[in-house]
Amino acid sequence: MDPVYRTDASPPLAQSAVEARACAEIWDKFAQNDAQRYIWTIRQGNDPQEFWQSGEHTVAREFLPLIRSYQVRPALGLELGCGVGRLAFPLARHFQQVLGLDVSRSMIQQVISAATEKRVTNVAFCAIAGPEDFVQLATTNPTRFDFIYSLLVFQHVPDLSTIAGYLLVIRTLLHPRGLAYLQFDTRPPGLSYRLKMRLPDFLLPRFWRRGIRRIRRSPQEIEGCIRRAGLEIVAQLTPRTAYHRYILRVPPTSGTSS
Ligand SMILES: C[S@@+](CC[C@H](N)C(=O)[O-])C[C@H]1O[C@@H](n2cnc3c(N)ncnc32)[C@H](O)[C@@H]1O
Q: What is the CATH number of the domain that holds 41?
A: 3.40.50.150
Flag whether pLDDT at 9 surpasses 50.
Answer: no
Whole-number Å distance between alpha carbons of 34 and 71: 37
On whether residue 95 sits in a domain, the answer given is: yes
Looking at the DSSP bridge assignments, the partners of residue 237 are 245
How confident is the model at residue 11, as a pLDDT? 34
Residues present in the chain in total? 258
Nearest CA to ligand 1 atom 20: 103
**For the chain, how many structural domains are there in total?**
1
Phi-psi region of 148 (alpha: psi -120 to 50; beta: other; left: phi over 0): beta
Sheet of 76-80: strands edge to edge?
Answer: 123-127, 97-102, 76-80, 145-150, 174-184, 244-249, 232-237
pTM: 0.91
CB atoms within 10 A of CB 48: 10
Amino acid at 113: S
Flag whether pLDDT at 241 surpasses 60.
Answer: yes
On whether residue 101 sits in a domain, the answer given is: yes
Task: Answer for the pair 14, 132: CB distance below 8 angstroms, yes or no.
Answer: yes
Q: What is the mean pLDDT of the segment spanning 144-160?
A: 96
pLDDT-derived band at 41, boundaries 50, 70, 90? confident
On whether residue 29 sits in a domain, the answer given is: yes
Q: What is the mean pLDDT of the segment spanning 158-179?
A: 94
pLDDT-derived band at 139, boundaries 50, 70, 90? confident
The pLDDT tens digits for 83-136 are: 999 999 999 999 999 999 999 999 999 999 999 999 999 999 999 988 888 777
Q: Which residues contact 161 (CB under 8 A, 6 or more apart)?
A: none
On whether residue 27 sits in a domain, the answer given is: yes
Span from the CA of 255 to the centroid of ligand 1 (angstroms): 32
Whole-number Å distance between alpha carbons of 77 and 126: 14
Q: pLDDT higher for 41 or 110?
A: 110
On whether residue 183 sits in a domain, the answer given is: yes
Amino acid at 226: I
- By most ligand atoms within 8 Å of CB, the mutation choice from 29, 57, 128, 153 for ligand 1 is 153
On whether residue 178 sits in a domain, the answer given is: yes
Q: What is the mean pLDDT of the segment spanning 222-251?
A: 98
- By most ligand atoms within 8 Å of CB, the mutation choice from 42, 53, 101, 103 for ligand 1 is 103
Q: Could you list the residue range(s) of the whole structural domain that residue 168 is in?
A: 18-250
How confident is the model at residue 8, as a pLDDT? 38
How confident is the model at residue 254, as a pLDDT? 61
On whether residue 4 sits in a domain, the answer given is: no
Whole-number Å distance between alpha carbons of 56 and 64: 11
How confident is the model at residue 181, as a pLDDT? 98
How confident is the model at residue 201, as a pLDDT? 87
The pLDDT tens digits for 212-223 are: 899 999 999 999
On whether residue 1 sits in a domain, the answer given is: no
Span from the CA of 212 to the centroid of ligand 1 (angstroms): 10
